[in-house]
């Protein structure tokens, strides 16, 4: 029981990661692929933040009388990763808009036929 | 005053230049400034290589905070060598691109091209120089975003789907690397590469760390386009603008190979990765399959850029093969091939870009009769092509020589034979183009094609001459590659010594490890 | 109690993620993604990561959702039938998931204070940073000073994204007056409410920018909130009015300026004899130098993020205008 309490957090996060990953690789519509990519990345962030948490601690901002703080380093890493994620999303969505203009569709099976097979 | 900051200059020069180029706006100014910055970065990387060639290591603590609390830049022969290749190619391609992009990219986007190009250069330099695992991820994403932008600048609509596919696969790869680094961080509490190496080996064998290793390898494998994770590369190289392909083919995947080597040797330790986890066999098999399948695919394509793209995949196979041999000579062969391949492919893609500039097509039919009409370009293609095949007096021969020697050292006769067989396939795919150029008549309506402007010919021929020069006088490249390989193996041995010191008679082993680390630091 | 909240939120997340797989209406999918992002922000708060929660809510649930909706306006709401089989993706996902679960088996237990991550590097940040840097918010200390190079990289990533979107979608140049009037002309209530909310939002953004040293906040969040204010203005009053206020060319300049401001702090440190981005050299007292350095670089970050986000939004909405979608 203790084992489950120690690890349930990680397992559910792994489940979320895999859901996002599944959406990315199986979706036909490009916008849905990007949504899946974001779900995947957000779940990875949860993994990092889970490792920084200290039971009984509080947010890493200095406050009178508090001695136990959660770890600030994962927070810094994830702040960076979130911004990287949205940057990728923005570029990906712009590509989708251009693909729609050029091919008339954003469904992968439809425009794949129009491209040379390489 | 700048001397003490050498380690960080190759990153911050293009990083600061990129927004300046955006503000400058005018195409010719952007080009001139970008080329100047790239040239400066190349000079600095030359200084870094000469400083570290004899085994020295340069460590630079950004922000003044000592590692592991701050971010460390760490230059040794291994990354200085690759950095030189990257910045050298970058400068030449920038020269080439002045005319080349006029035919391939809309005028209004030229400034954005140079901005994205400088960002890509900054990102690649950052990946090479950094000594911090998370910092590597950040620079990886900078270079990747810039790359997706560069690929999508072409007029051909297929560049968009190629860029999108590259984006999705590349981001999955980067996220896998992030997961892997997270797992390592979870068990060690640090992100600095040397610190990680020390702390990982406090654990005998940890599931988390091994899973982290696996995820990092897969993520980097996507970035370096190792078979079977290579699906994004052929389309991206074929449909991107020629200057972009020339730059990327010579640099982006090679930097990823460097990352794999760095993680294997400096962080995890060769013994652990290869003996405990059997990665040498996996990598060897994948490499051989890559060499053969991709050389075969190269031989059947009609678009010459696609031929060269598949050829690049095969050459990456050779590099990974060298790594999988787990010997100083094998790793040396890989490192030297990283440098040599940049010279070869850079010249080849520039030659093809020149053909596109004049003819608007790179189908093999367009190459007919070009031997007479564009003699300098086709001569460049031929010499670089011979280099890929591995003809003596070219750099390609040097790489293949060391690879075969490394295989024979370990009595892998089959591997050595396979390497030579790969060259035979290269004869086929290079030979087709040469045959079309010299032995066939041009198609109707293709008369009077002139050579390309000198800004395109000059960088092409600098690379061709470098191909021959470094094939004849191999002292610089072999010395650098050998030192790099030795340092990497030394890192690995220190790690093994650390592991032993934790399990065996402590004091004597610790002394040995200390001696080794003192030697490296000098 | 904290664990219970955690569990409930995670369960809601799992349900949301599962629903996204099976929905064909992309508008609903994007909305569910917004919910997913917001729920994860709540989880971050529960896990003591307040800065991260702030950023995730504004960037993930805010900007990402807006951009996705903007894309959907141009590409259509419905997903068509998927013709390829899902066996291979399912297999890949199962193998990857199994590898991950295998990896979790000897992870340090969740929440224990003596886990490896809390030793060696982190204690210095927690114990020394209030003295070395003098800021209560340790995340800002680490982000802006100890790992300031990462943050410079992050700012450049935002800049690179803006470059990418500009290259792909154009600069959203000011159209001439023949362009169709956009904006929500007849919604007078919205006009009035927007006029009240927008200045308050900008004020809040400035507060977040400068208060990031003392509480959750900082350049990124501030830049995004300020951009959100202008996005609201664009939606209600129309793109051309918005471009009159801040034009695309000026935004490009602002984006470059932010990065250059950040980098020049580093260059000035080098000039003063320190390493790149060593703020202690910026003033006679090293702690004061740290404060100056952090304020200026956060400003650079905020400016670039604001300019980049707004440029990206302009690019998307001018595409929509060209397709005559109101």
3-state secondary structure B372-403: HHCHHHHHHHHHHHHHHHCCCCCHHHHHHHHH
Query: Is residue A107 situated within a structural domain?
Result: yes
Contact A23 C50 (CB under 8 A): no
Of the candidate ranges A70-84, B149-163, C70-84, C230-244, the one whose mean pLDDT is the lowest: C70-84
Contact C110 A9 (CB under 8 A): yes
Residue C4 token pair: 């219970």
Distance from CA of C78 to the nearest CA of A (A): 9
Closest CA to C259 of C212, C306, C214: C306
CB C52 within 8 A of CB C61: no
Q: What is the Cα–Cα distance from A79 to B416, expressed in whole angstroms?
A: 49
pLDDT value at B505 more than 70: no
Looking at residue B108, what DSSP letter applies? G
Query: Is residue A81 situated within a structural domain?
Result: yes
Closest CA to B367 of B415, B304, B427: B304
Residue corresponding to tokens 């022969």: B77
Distance from CA of A64 to the nearest CA of C (A): 10
Residue C175 token pair: 């159209």
Contact B189 C119 (CB under 8 A): yes
Provide the ipTM.
0.95
Q: What is the Cα–Cα distance from B167 to A95, expressed in whole angstroms?
A: 10
Handedness of CA C82, C87, C90, C96 (dihedral sign): negative
Instruction: Tell me whether C65 touches chain A (CB under 8 Å).
Output: no
pLDDT value at C324 more than 60: no
What mean pLDDT do residues B104-128 have?
93
Contact A88 B167 (CB under 8 A): yes
Confidence band of C177 (pLDDT split at 50, 70, 90): very low
Distance from CA of C39 to the nearest CA of A (A): 11
Of the candidate ranges C70-74, C231-235, C318-322, the one whose mean pLDDT is the lowest: C318-322
Looking at residue A14, what DSSP letter applies? H
pLDDT value at C93 more than 60: yes
pLDDT at res. C326: 37
CB C10 within 8 A of CB A9: yes
pLDDT value at C171 more than 80: no
Q: How many domains does chain A have?
A: 1
Confidence band of C163 (pLDDT split at 50, 70, 90): very high
Confidence band of B26 (pLDDT split at 50, 70, 90): confident
Closest CA to C314 of C260, C249, C254, C222: C249
Q: Which of B137-151, B418-432, C17-31 has the highest mean pLDDT?
A: B137-151
Q: How far, in whole angstroms, is CA B161 from its chain's centroid?
A: 24
Contacts of C143 in chain A (CB under 8 A): 76, 79
Contact B141 A84 (CB under 8 A): yes
Confidence band of C98 (pLDDT split at 50, 70, 90): very high
Query: Is residue A59 situated within a structural domain?
Result: no
Backbone angles phi, psi at C23, to 5 degrees: -80, 145
Query: Is residue A27 situated within a structural domain?
Result: yes
pLDDT value at C181 more than 80: no
Residue corresponding to tokens 């490249």: B477
Looking at residue B240, what DSSP letter applies? S
pLDDT at res. B3: 79
pLDDT, tens digit, 9 for 90 and up, residues C30-53? 999 999 999 999 999 999 899 999
Residues 29-68 on A with a CB inside 8 Å of C are: 29-32, 34-36, 38-39, 42-43, 45-46, 49-63, 68
Q: How far is CA B150 from CA B138, B246, B486, C163, in A?
A: 19, 12, 36, 10
Which of A37, A77, A118 shows the shortest C-beta gap to B234?
A118
CB C247 within 8 A of CB C292: no
pLDDT at res. B522: 46
Domains detected in chain C: 1-79 (1.20.120.1200), 135-326 (no CATH)
Query: Is residue A100 situated within a structural domain?
Result: yes
Confidence band of A15 (pLDDT split at 50, 70, 90): very high
pLDDT at res. C264: 94
Query: Is residue A85 situated within a structural domain?
Result: yes
In chain C, count H helices and then E strands. 13, 0
Q: Which residue from A minimizes the CA distance to B309?
A: A118
Q: How would you label B270-299 residue by residue, b for 16+ Cβ within 10 Å and e otherwise? A: bebbbeebebbeebbebbbebbbbbbebbb
CB B245 within 8 A of CB B305: yes
Chains touching B (3+ CB pairs < 8 Å): A, C
What's chain B's average pLDDT?
A: 88
Q: Which residue from C minimizes the CA distance to A85?
A: C60
pLDDT value at B184 more than 80: yes
What mean pLDDT do residues B434-463 have?
82
Confidence band of C173 (pLDDT split at 50, 70, 90): low
pLDDT at res. B507: 46
Contact B189 C118 (CB under 8 A): yes
Of the candidate ranges B53-67, B83-97, C30-44, the one whose mean pLDDT is the lowest: B53-67
Separation of first and last alpha carbons in chain C: 47
pLDDT, tens digit, 9 for 90 and up, residues C264-310? 999 999 998 888 999 988 888 889 999 999 999 999 999 999 999 99
Closest CA to C261 of C120, C135, C122, C151: C151
Percent of chain A with pLDDT over 90: 50
Instruction: Tell me whether C123 touches chain A (CB under 8 Å).
Output: no
Residue C16 token pair: 């949301």
pLDDT at res. C267: 92
Q: How would you label C271-285 residue by residue, b for 16+ Cβ within 10 Å and e otherwise? A: eeebbbbbbbbbeee
Percent of chain B with pLDDT over 70: 94
Query: Is residue A41 situated within a structural domain?
Result: yes
Percent of chain B with pLDDT over 90: 54
H/E stretch holding B59: strand B58-62
Contact C149 B71 (CB under 8 A): yes
Q: How far is CA B118 from CA B34, B463, C169, C244, C295, in A?
A: 7, 21, 20, 31, 27
Kindly report whether the global pTM for this prediction surpasses the value 0.90.
Answer: yes
HEC profile of B487-499: HHHHHHHHHHHHH
Output helix, strand, coil percentages for chain C, rounded to the nearest 5. 75, 0, 25
pLDDT value at B509 more than 80: no
Q: What is the Cα–Cα distance from A83 to B36, expressed in whole angstroms?
A: 31
Closest CA to B85 of B346, B266, B312, B465: B346
Q: What is the Cα–Cα distance from B355 to B349, expressed in whole angstroms?
A: 10
Residues 274-333 on B with a CB inside 8 Å of A are: 301, 303, 306
pLDDT, tens digit, 9 for 90 and up, residues B225-242? 998 899 999 999 999 999
Chains touching C (3+ CB pairs < 8 Å): A, B
Query: Is residue A47 situated within a structural domain?
Result: yes
In chain A, count H helices and then E strands. 4, 0
Residue A98 token pair: 């251009």
CATH of the domain at A34: 1.10.287.3510
Residue B88 token pair: 């050298």
Domain boundaries, position A15: 2-54+65-117
Q: Which residue from C minimizes the CA distance to A29?
A: C79
pLDDT value at C316 more than 70: yes
Closest CA to C53 of B185, A60, A12, A36: A60
Residues 77-96 on A with a CB inside 8 Å of C are: 77-80, 82-91, 93-96
Residue C184 token pair: 């929500």
In chain B, count H helices and then E strands. 21, 2
Contacts of B153 in chain C (CB under 8 A): 167
pLDDT, tens digit, 9 for 90 and up, residues A59-94? 888 888 888 888 899 999 999 999 999 999 999 999
What mean pLDDT do residues B275-283 have?
82
What's chain C's average pLDDT?
A: 88
Beta bridge partners of B223: none
What mean pLDDT do residues C196-219 have?
92
């Amino acid at each position: 029981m203790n084992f489950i309490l120690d690890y349930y957090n990680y397992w559910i996060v792994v489940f979320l990661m895999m859901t996002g990953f599944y959406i990315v690789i199986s979706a036909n519509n490009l916008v849905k692929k990007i949504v899946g990519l974001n779900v995947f990345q957000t779940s990875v962030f949860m993994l990092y933040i889970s490792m920084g948490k200290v039971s009984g601690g509080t947010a890493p901002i200095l406050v009178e009388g508090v001695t136990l703080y959660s770890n600030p380093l994962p927070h810094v890493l994830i702040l960076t990763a979130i911004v990287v994620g949205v940057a990728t999303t923005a570029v990906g969505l712009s590509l989708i808009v251009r693909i729609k203009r050029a091919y008339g569709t954003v469904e992968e099976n439809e425009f794949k036929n129009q491209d040379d097979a390489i | 005053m700048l001397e003490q900051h050498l380690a960080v200059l190759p990153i911050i020069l293009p990083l600061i230049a990129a927004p300046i180029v955006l503000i400058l706006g005018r195409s010719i100014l952007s080009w001139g400034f970008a080329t100047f910055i790239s040239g400066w970065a190349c000079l600095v990387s030359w200084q870094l290589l000469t400083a570290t060639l004899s085994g020295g290591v340069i460590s630079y603590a950004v922000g003044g905070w000592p590692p592991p609390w701050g971010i460390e830049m760490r230059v040794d022969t291994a990354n200085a060598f690759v950095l030189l290749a990257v910045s050298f190619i970058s400068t030449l391609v920038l020269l080439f691109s002045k005319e080349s992009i006029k035919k391939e990219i809309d005028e209004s986007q030229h400034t954005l091209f140079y901005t994205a190009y400088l960002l890509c250069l900054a990102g690649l330099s950052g990946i090479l120089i950094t000594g911090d695992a998370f910092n590597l991820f950040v620079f990886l994403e900078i270079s990747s975003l810039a790359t997706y932008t560069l690929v999508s600048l072409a007029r051909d609509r297929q560049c968009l789907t190629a860029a999108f596919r590259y984006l999705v696969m590349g981001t999955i790869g980067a996220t896998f690397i992030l997961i892997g680094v997270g797992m390592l961080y979870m068990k060690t509490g640090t992100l600095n590469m040397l610190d990680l190496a020390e702390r990982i080996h406090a654990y005998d064998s940890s599931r988390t760390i091994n899973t982290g290793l696996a995820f990092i390898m897969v993520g980097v494998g996507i970035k370096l386009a190792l078979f079977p994770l290579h699906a994004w590369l052929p389309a991206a190289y074929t449909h991107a603008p020629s200057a972009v392909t020339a730059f990327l083919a010579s640099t982006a995947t090679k930097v990823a190979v460097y990352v794999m080597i760095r993680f294997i040797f400096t962080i995890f330790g060769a013994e652990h990765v290869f003996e405990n986890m059997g990665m040498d066999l996996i990598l060897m098999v994948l490499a051989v399959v890559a060499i053969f399948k991709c050389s075969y695919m190269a031989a059947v394509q009609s678009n010459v850029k696609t031929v060269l793209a598949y050829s690049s995949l095969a050459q990456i196979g050779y590099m990974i093969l060298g790594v999988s041999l787990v010997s100083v000579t094998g790793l040396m062969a890989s490192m030297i091939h990283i440098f040599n391949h940049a010279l070869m492919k850079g010249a080849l893609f520039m030659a093809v870009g020149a053909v596109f500039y004049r003819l608007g097509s790179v189908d093999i039919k367009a190459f007919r009769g070009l031997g007479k009409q564009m003699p300098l370009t086709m001569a460049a293609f031929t010499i670089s092509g011979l280099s890929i095949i591995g003809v003596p007096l070219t750099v390609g021969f040097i790489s293949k020589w060391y690879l075969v020697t490394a295989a024979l050292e370990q009595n892998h006769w089959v591997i050595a034979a396979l390497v030579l067989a790969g060259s035979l396939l290269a004869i086929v795919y290079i030979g087709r183009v040469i045959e079309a150029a010299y032995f066939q008549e041009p198609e109707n309506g293709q008369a009077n094609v002139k050579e390309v402007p000198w800004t395109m010919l000059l960088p092409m021929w600098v690379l061709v001459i470098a191909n021959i020069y470094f094939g004849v006088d191999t002292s610089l490249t072999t010395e650098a590659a050998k030192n790099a390989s030795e340092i990497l193996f030394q890192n690995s041995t220190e790690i093994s010594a650390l592991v032993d010191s934790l399990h065996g008679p402590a004091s004597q082993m610790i002394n040995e490890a200390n001696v080794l680390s003192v030697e490296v630091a000098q | 109690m904290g664990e219970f909240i955690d569990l409930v939120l995670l369960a809601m997340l799992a349900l949301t993620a599962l629903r996204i797989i099976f929905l064909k209406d992309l508008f609903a999918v994007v909305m569910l993604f917004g919910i997913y992002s917001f729920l994860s922000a709540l989880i971050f708060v529960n896990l003591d990561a307040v800065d991260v929660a702030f950023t995730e809510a504004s960037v993930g649930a805010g900007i990402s959702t807006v951009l996705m909706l903007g894309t959907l306006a141009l590409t259509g709401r419905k997903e068509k039938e998927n013709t390829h089989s899902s066996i291979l993706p399912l297999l890949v996902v199962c193998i990857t998931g199994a590898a991950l679960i295998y990896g979790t088996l000897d992870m340090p237990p969740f929440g224990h204070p003596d886990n490896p991550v809390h030793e060696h590097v982190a204690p210095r940040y927690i114990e020394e940073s209030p003295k070395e840097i003098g800021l209560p918010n340790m995340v800002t200390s680490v982000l802006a000073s100890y790992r300031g190079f990462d943050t410079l990289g992050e700012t450049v990533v935002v800049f690179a994204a803006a470059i990418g979107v500009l290259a792909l979608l154009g600069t959203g140049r000011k159209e001439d007056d023949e362009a169709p009037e956009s904006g929500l002309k007849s919604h007078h209530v919205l006009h009035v409410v927007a006029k009240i909310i927008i200045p308050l939002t900008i004020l809040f953004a400035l507060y977040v920018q400068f208060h990031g040293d003392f509480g959750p906040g900082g350049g990124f969040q501030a830049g995004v909130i300020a951009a959100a204010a202008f996005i609201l203005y664009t939606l209600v009053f129309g793109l051309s009015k918005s471009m009159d206020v801040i034009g695309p060319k000026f935004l490009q300049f602002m984006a470059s300026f932010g990065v250059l401001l950040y980098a020049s702090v580093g260059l000035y440190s080098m000039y003063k004899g320190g390493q790149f981005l060593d703020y202690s050299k910026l003033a006679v007292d090293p702690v004061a130098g740290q404060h100056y350095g952090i304020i200026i670089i956060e400003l650079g970050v905020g400016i670039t993020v604001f300019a980049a986000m707004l440029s990206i939004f302009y690019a998307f909405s001018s595409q929509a205008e060209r397709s005559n979608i109101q």
